[in-house]
Structure 1
C-alpha cells in the first residue's frame, strides 16, 4: 500500500477535521498516512507516493504558511500524484457568480504557487462562532447571512458534506495509481 502525506493549514479546526477524516479513510484501506501542518518543520517528500494539500479560504486567499509550503515544494508536487481541497462557506451559495469566484481563488492559488494538482475540490466548512473573536464573529455573521447559513452566533454549525469528502478521498486513491507527471508549468 501507498505512503500518503496530507499537508494542511487550519485556523479554526475544520480543515484539520477534514484532513483527519481523509487520513482515517485511507488508513482503513491499508495505506500509511502522515499529517503535517504547513507551518510545521518541512519534511522530505520523496518518501510519499501521493500528497494531498488542504486549506481554508480567508479574505479571498489561503493562509500564508500554506502558500509558502506549496511554493517551496512545487517541484516535488508537480511530479507526484497530488490533490488539493479548499474549505470555504462561499461554495454553499448557489449563485454561479460566487461559484466562479471560488474557483478563481483556487486557480489563483495554483498560479501563485506554480503547482497544478491532478484533483481538486471545494468543500463547505463550518461556522465556529464559539472560536471567533468579536470582529471575526461579525464578519462571519455577515458572510453566513449572504450564503444562507445559520446566523445565531450562540452556537457552532458544520456544513461539510462528508459524502463529498469521502468521494474525494476515493478519487485521490484512484489517481495515485496513475503514472507520475513530469510537468513544467507555465501560467
Structure 2
C-alpha cells in the first residue's frame, strides 16, 4: 500500500511553508506521496499514513496553527508516525548545534511518541506581518537563517525511516 504523508505547517509569513515544501520535495524524490497543507486547513488525517508538522517559533512558542493542529488531531496522530520541525532562531545557532524543541513541542512529542524533531533557522525579512515581527526588524534582528541543505538532510532521514516501515 502506498504511504501518503501529510506535511502540515503553521507559518505567519511563508518561510516555514517553504521549508515544508522542501521536506515534501525530498520525500517525493524517494517516491513517497507527500501533500503540503496549512495546518489550519486540515480537517482529517484519514488519507495519510504519516504526518510531519512544522511550526514557526515566536517568543518560545510554536505557531498557533501548528499547536491547534496537534490538539485537534491528537487521536489520529497517536496512531501514525509523526515528526515535528520548528523554524525559529533568527541567528546561525540552528546550523551550529542541535536545538531542542521548545517546552510545548516537547510535551506534544512525548504525548504522541513522536519519532523526531529538528529546529532550523528561521527567516524574518522586510514586509513581514505582525507587530512583533516589525519590531524585531526595526531592531535590526531579522534575516534569513534557513539552511535548506539541513532541512533536506533531515527529510532524507524521514524518507529512509518511512521506507523501512513500508518494507518492514
| TM-score scaled by length of structure 2 | 0.81
CA deviation string 1:7-55 (max 9, x = no partner): 1011011100001111122222222111121111412x23222210000
Q: Is structure 2 residue 152 aligned with structure 1 residue 166?
A: yes
- Is it true that 1:123 corresponds to 2:97 in the alignment? no
Q: Distance in 2 between matches of 1:50 and 1:112?
A: 16
What is residue 22 of structure 1 aligned with on the other side?
23
Paired with 2:113 and 2:140, the residues of 1 have a C-alpha distance of 29
Write the mapping of 1:98-113 to structure 2, written as runs, cut at 5 A.
103=100, 105=102, 107-111=103-107
TM-score when normalising by structure 1: 0.73
Aligned residues: 163
Unaligned runs of 5+ in 2: none
Measure, in 2, the Cα distance between the counterparts of 1:91 and 1:117. 27
Gaps of 5+ in 1: 145-150, 152-156, 181-187
- Structure possessing the higher radius of gyration over alpha carbons: 1
- Structure richer in strand, relative to its length: 2
Q: Is the 2:10–2:64 Cα contact (8 Å) retained in structure 1?
A: no
Quickly say closer, same or farther: Cα 1:133–1:91, change in 2 above 3 A.
Answer: closer
Distance 1:59 1:91 in 2: 14
